[in-house]
A and B are shown apart, each in its own frame.
Chain A
């Protein structure tokens, strides 16, 4: 158990809908990262937050948004869902900004868009 909690574990929804994925980082970790992993593919970086502020943005679609709350949990909002958004979404957390601290991954949320 990495200490990072993601909910829900599985989500099935229809095209055009909106969903929210939730991530609770390890206690004491200030950074949260979101990654998208399509079937048997690599980890595509979406966005990073550090202590409530957006720190870096990757290949995140305009239909997607995220935020980190004062209690440091984070949410990833996906809207106008398309079939191609089906993937495993991982959140990871680390103490610092990433350069010299390891990241711990949650078990992921598997999103299926039908």
Chain B
């Protein structure tokens, strides 16, 4: 089962904040976050593991609620370079991605 992401799209001005949510109906070992710019490969941002451990970019923060099988990605003081499509990947016995959230940051 694919995780469900929301919102589908968001438009920000530089400096504004955004939250992207991800939820799964399956028990998860971890949640991964990736960003894909148009025409490029997805790039790793962060892993959130059960027990609270996180690995990833210093400037990006996220949370993982193991009981609810939900994760949120927090993008603060957004920059133009944050534009792209964000995918959450949920790892159970495999790694499946949500449909993505298209983030556009405007000057």
Contact = CB atoms under 8 A, between A and B. Distances in A.
Contacts of B37: none
Contacts of B93: 55-56
A93 B53 CA distance: 22
Given A43-B42, A90-B42, A102 B55 contact: yes
B73 interface: no
Contacts of A101: 47
Contact of B94 (A43, A56, A105, A108): A56
Contacts, number: 66
A102 B49 CA distance: 11
Contacts of A58: 94, 96
A99 B49 contact: yes
A45 B97 contact: yes
B95 A2 contact: no
Contacts of A35: 97
A38 B71 CA distance: 25
* Count class of interface residues, chain B: 20 to 34
Mostly helix, strand, loop or mixed at chain A's interface? loop
Given A99-B49, A102-B32, A42 B43 contact: no
Given A42-B99, A42-B100, A106 B41 contact: yes
Interface in A14-60: 33, 35, 41-43, 45, 48, 55-58
Nearest to B56: A102
A58 B94 CA distance: 8
21 contacts: A2-B41, A2-B43, A33-B95, A35-B97, A41-B99, A43-B42, A45-B96, A45-B97, A48-B95, A56-B93, A58-B94, A58-B96, A90-B42, A98-B91, A98-B95, A99-B29, A99-B49, A99-B91, A100-B55, A103-B32, A103-B95
Interface of A: 2, 33, 35, 41-43, 45, 48, 55-58, 90, 92, 98-108
Closest CB pairs A-B (n = 8): A56-B94, A105-B41, A99-B29, A42-B99, A43-B97, A102-B44, A98-B95, A45-B96
